[in-house]
Amino acid sequence: MLSALIGKGQKILKGVILDSIKNQPIPNATVFVSGTSNGVKTNELGKFSLLIPNGKYNLIVISTGYKPYNKAIHTNELPDSITISLNTKSNQKINNGKNGWEQWGEIFFNNLIGASTTAQDCKIKNHKALHFLAQENNEISVIADEPLVIENKALGYTITFELEFFHYNVNTGYCTYLGFPFFQSMQGSSNIQEKWNKKRVEAYEGSVMHFMRSVYLNRINEEGFDVRHLQKVRNSTSLMMNQHYLDDSDSQKKSVISEVKKMQSLYDQIINPDDYKEIIGTTLTGDSIAYAIDKTTAGLDFDDFLFILYKKKESPATYQIIYGQTGMMSQIVLINQKSIEISANGSYYAPADLMFLGYWDWSEKIGNMLPYDYNPLKSP
């Protein structure tokens, strides 16, 4: 069933890539579907033909000397052909500061690639393209002159990663980033291919991709996921402190009320977990959190948080050493209170609307990432 669904409903998108000023074709541009291994190069006439998996994705076009192109597409709304014009990049030089990679490279690597044993076998081959910029709010921003080339020898992929933004707060350790990966399988002997296949299965089991595919098929319990509603309630001592502060001065009431609202928000629950106690409900079924949007798309919607435990194996030893937890326990929250769309291959949209806490916050990095067209039932 899974094998059939992953490849079901693919469509072909044809198009041409042009220079926006000269209106001339751009040969050898890379056109790909973000998060997949579906990608091609344009020919000498700037033309391409690309397989698009069923669902909603970002179509990315990159070419040396041009600004990247990014467009959300859906297979239900694909045109017969598309013409894409690329704008040239400016030659403005960026003041990178001194020793950016030496000072902040490890933090960048751990937040983007990860700290797992799989991530340790990854290498950013062109890290000199990165620029680390210190902001006034104790935030480090990172930009790249070109797409990052990430070599993952543990899983057997070379990943082209178009980095949109990366922000890291030095005070809180809070990190946000957005980028678009394109996967290409490495070549290797049959023994190496077998090793990669085993590692890919390990990375897949209990991953967000595995969970989303299980939601789509309404098989979350059968696939080993224990999913429960999770509500976070402010501790009574914190409430008393806030009430005392409210009564302390009428002149401060307006600002205090605003502050209390902020403290009651989802954001506050995320960054101040010790101020809340967690109330976990009973095990949920897939149809209690998901619904059919159309014939090819499922919707995931829920209140508060979901607590998710993958029961079929323990967390990796590296995670246990750092966090002291043997269980693969995660939490997810719809930070914009919007449902997300899930396709059969486990892709979901919009990814920025879903936030991970717990195990997935640690594991769901580029170093453990698989392309959406990955099939655990087939060898690489």
Interval 3-23: pLDDT, tens: 545 555 678 999 999 999 999
Q: Report whether pLDDT(282) > 70.
A: yes
Arithmetic mean of pLDDT over the chain: 88
pLDDT in tens, 125-134: 999 999 999 8
Residue 251 has pLDDT above 90, yes or no: no
The closest of 99, 177, 114 to 142, measured between CA atoms, is 177
Specify the pLDDT at position 270: 75
CA-closest candidate to residue 72, choices 55, 56, 84, 49:
56
Mean pLDDT of 277-305: 92
The pair of three-digit structure tokens given for residue 214, joined into one six-digit string: 């299980």
- pTM for the predicted model, two decimal places: 0.86
The residue-averaged pLDDT of 253-276 equals 62
Mean pLDDT of 314-322: 94
Mean pLDDT score, 103-125? 95
Q: Which amino acid is at 239?
A: L
Amino acid identity of 194?
Answer: E
What per-residue confidence (pLDDT) applies to 32? Answer: 97
pLDDT at 161: 97
pLDDT digit string (tens) for 327-340?
999 999 998 889 99
Q: How far is Cα 326 from Cα 314, in angstroms, rounded to an integer?
A: 5
Return the bridge partners of 305, or none. 230, 333
Closest by CA position to 116, among listed 317, 358, 372: 317
Domain 2-78 has what CATH class?
Answer: mainly beta
Q: Over pLDDT 90: what percentage of the chain?
A: 71
Domain borders along the chain are: 2-78, 100-190, 208-235+267-368
Helices (H), 130-252: 190-204, 208-216, 236-248
For range 102-130, the mean pLDDT: 95
